[in-house]
Structure 1
Amino acid sequence: MRASYENLNLILRGLIAIIVGLSLFVFQEWVIIFFTQVIVAFLYINGGAKFVQVVMWQRSNRRLTEIMMQLFVASAHLMVASWLLLEQDFTTVFLVKSIGYYQILMALINLFSFSLMVKDDAGNRVDVLIRALIHLGFGLSSLILPTAINSTLNRVGWYFILLGLASIMDGRELSDKATYRSGRRRRWRITAPIWFTLLLPDSTIQKFNQYFTNKELDAQQFVQQNREVYVNYDPLALEVFIHVGKEGFNRVGHVDISYQDKVYSYGNHDIESRQLFDLIGDGVLFVVDKQKYIEYCMQEGSTVMVYGIHLSNLQKIALEAELAAIKKDTMVWHLTTDAQRHDYIGRMQLATQAQLYKFKRGKFKTYFVMGTNCVLLADQVIGTSGMDILALNGILTPGSYLAYFERESMKKGSFISAKFVINEGIYQEKHIANQ
Structure 2
Amino acid sequence: MKKISELGITGKKLLIEGIAFLIAGVLLLIYGPSFPELMLRLFLTFLWARELWNFLFRWFSKAAAKDPLWLNVAKFFLYGFLAGNQFFISLPIAIVSILMGLNEVMKAATSGVTYYIYVKDGIRPRLRLLIDTIWLSVVGVATLLALGGDGNLQMFFLALYFIGLGTSNIRDGWFFEAEVGKKVLRRRLRRGMPLVLAAIIPRVTLQKINDALELGEGETASEIYDRAKENAEPNLEMFIHVTKDGFGAIGHVDLCYKGRIISFGNYDTNSERLFGTMGDGVLFSADREKYIEFCKRENHKTLLGYGLALSPEQLAAIDKEIAKLMSLTVPWDPPQMVKPKRPGIDKEEPMYAYKLKQEADALLYKFTSSKFKTYFVMSTNCVLLADTIVGAAGTDILSVRGFISPGTYQDYLDKEFERPHSLVVTKRVYQ
Which residue of the partner structure matches residue 32 of structure 1? 36
CA distance in 1, matches of 2:374, 2:43: 44
Work out which of the residue numbers 297, 300, 310 in structure 2 matches 1:299: 297
Q: Tell me if the contact between 2:181 and 2:423 (Cα under 8 Å) persists in the aligned partners.
A: no
Which residue of the partner structure matches residue 181 of structure 2? 181
The share of aligned pairs that are identical, in percent, is 31
SS in 1 for 2:403: coil
Q: Which letter maps to 1:204?
A: T
Q: Tell me if the contact between 1:40 and 1:85 (Cα under 8 Å) persists in the aligned partners.
A: no
Go from structure 1 to structure 2 and tell me whether the alpha carbon gap of 1:274 and 1:94 turns closer, same or farther (over 3 Å shift). same
Which residue of the partner structure matches residue 359 of structure 1? 367
Q: 1:319 deviation in Å?
A: 0.9
Go from structure 1 to structure 2 and tell me whether the alpha carbon gap of 1:133 and 1:168 turns closer, same or farther (over 3 Å shift). same
Q: 1:115 deviation in Å?
A: 0.9
CA distance in 2, matches of 1:94, 1:225: 39
Which residue of the partner structure matches residue 60 of structure 1? none
Q: Tell me if the contact between 2:33 and 2:150 (Cα under 8 Å) persists in the aligned partners.
A: no
Q: 1:85 deviation in Å?
A: 7.1
Go from structure 1 to structure 2 and tell me whether the alpha carbon gap of 1:415 and 1:148 turns closer, same or farther (over 3 Å shift). same
CA distance in 1, matches of 2:24, 2:421: 32
1:108 corresponds to 2:116: no
CA distance in 1, matches of 2:226, 2:163: 40
Q: Which moved more, 1:381-390 or 1:345-354?
A: 345-354
Which residue of the partner structure matches residue 216 of structure 2? 215
SS in 2 for 1:124: coil
User: For 1:110-159, what per-residue CA distance to the aligned partner results, in whole angstroms no more than 9, with x for missing partners?
Assistant: 12101101111123333433443453454356457898732332232122
Q: Tell me if the contact between 1:96 and 1:148 (Cα under 8 Å) persists in the aligned partners.
A: no
Which residue of the partner structure matches residue 392 of structure 2? 384
Which residue of the partner structure matches residue 53 of structure 1? none
Go from structure 1 to structure 2 and tell me whether the alpha carbon gap of 1:209 and 1:334 turns closer, same or farther (over 3 Å shift). same
Correspondences of 1:340-359 after superposition (within 5 Å): 342-359=350-367
Q: 1:42 deviation in Å?
A: 12
Work out which of the residue numbers 403, 407, 412 in structure 2 matches 1:399: 407
Instruction: Tell me the TM-score normalized by structure 2.
Output: 0.79
Go from structure 1 to structure 2 and tell me whether the alpha carbon gap of 1:421 and 1:97 turns closer, same or farther (over 3 Å shift). closer
CA distance in 2, matches of 1:43, 1:380: 51
Correspondences of 1:107-126 after superposition (within 5 Å): 107-126=108-127
Q: Tell me if the contact between 2:265 and 2:381 (Cα under 8 Å) persists in the aligned partners.
A: yes
Which residue of the partner structure matches residue 13 of structure 1? 17
Correspondences of 1:241-390 after superposition (within 5 Å): 241-300=239-298, 301-339=300-338, 342-390=350-398
SS in 2 for 1:318: helix
CA distance in 2, matches of 1:99, 1:399: 19
Gaps of 5+ in 2: 49-77, 340-348
Q: Tell me if the contact between 1:214 and 1:220 (Cα under 8 Å) persists in the aligned partners.
A: no
Correspondences of 1:191-230 after superposition (within 5 Å): 191-216=192-217, 224=223, 226=225, 229=228
CA distance in 2, matches of 1:264, 1:96: 40
Q: Tell me if the contact between 2:9 and 2:418 (Cα under 8 Å) persists in the aligned partners.
A: no
Q: Which moved more, 1:32-41 or 1:324-333?
A: 32-41
Instruction: Tell me the TM-score normalized by structure 1.
Output: 0.78
Which residue of the partner structure matches residue 160 of structure 1? 162
1:417 corresponds to 2:415: no
Q: Tell me if the contact between 1:36 and 1:91 (Cα under 8 Å) persists in the aligned partners.
A: no
Go from structure 1 to structure 2 and tell me whether the alpha carbon gap of 1:100 and 1:332 turns closer, same or farther (over 3 Å shift). same
User: For 1:408-432, what per-residue CA distance to the aligned partner results, in whole angstroms no more than 9, with x for missing partners?
Assistant: 1111211112121122xxxxxxxxx
Correspondences of 1:37-48 after superposition (within 5 Å): none
Go from structure 1 to structure 2 and tell me whether the alpha carbon gap of 1:171 and 1:345 turns closer, same or farther (over 3 Å shift). same
Which residue of the partner structure matches residue 67 of structure 1? none
CA distance in 1, matches of 2:135, 2:224: 46
Q: 1:16 deviation in Å?
A: 1.9
User: For 1:56-115, what per-residue CA distance to the aligned partner results, in whole angstroms no more than 9, with x for missing partners?
Assistant: xxxxxxxxxxxxxxxxxxxxxx9xx98997443354344335423421321221121011
Q: Which moved more, 1:265-274 or 1:290-299?
A: 290-299
Go from structure 1 to structure 2 and tell me whether the alpha carbon gap of 1:31 and 1:380 turns closer, same or farther (over 3 Å shift). same
Q: Tell me if the contact between 1:330 and 1:360 (Cα under 8 Å) persists in the aligned partners.
A: yes
Q: Tell me if the contact between 2:189 and 2:397 (Cα under 8 Å) persists in the aligned partners.
A: yes
SS in 1 for 2:30: helix
Q: Which letter maps to 2:320?
A: A
Q: Tell me if the contact between 1:173 and 1:412 (Cα under 8 Å) persists in the aligned partners.
A: no
Q: Tell me if the contact between 1:21 and 1:157 (Cα under 8 Å) persists in the aligned partners.
A: yes
User: For 1:297-338, what per-residue CA distance to the aligned partner results, in whole angstroms no more than 9, with x for missing partners?
Assistant: 233432211111122222112111111111111111112252
CA distance in 1, matches of 2:94, 2:322: 48
Please state which structure has a larger fraction of its residues in helix.
Answer: 1
CA distance in 2, matches of 1:419, 1:351: 26
CA distance in 1, matches of 2:227, 2:395: 27
SS in 1 for 2:271: coil
CA distance in 1, matches of 2:9, 2:169: 14
CA distance in 2, matches of 1:246, 1:278: 20
What RMSD over aligned residues (CA atoms) do the two structures have, in Å?
A: 3.4
SS in 2 for 1:192: coil
**Number of matched pairs:** 383
CA distance in 1, matches of 2:355, 2:152: 55
CA distance in 2, matches of 1:192, 1:199: 11
Q: Tell me if the contact between 1:256 and 1:378 (Cα under 8 Å) persists in the aligned partners.
A: yes
Q: Tell me if the contact between 2:286 and 2:362 (Cα under 8 Å) persists in the aligned partners.
A: yes
Q: Which letter maps to 2:309?
A: H
Correspondences of 1:79-90 after superposition (within 5 Å): 86-90=87-91
Larger Rg belongs to: 2
Q: Tell me if the contact between 1:319 and 1:382 (Cα under 8 Å) persists in the aligned partners.
A: yes
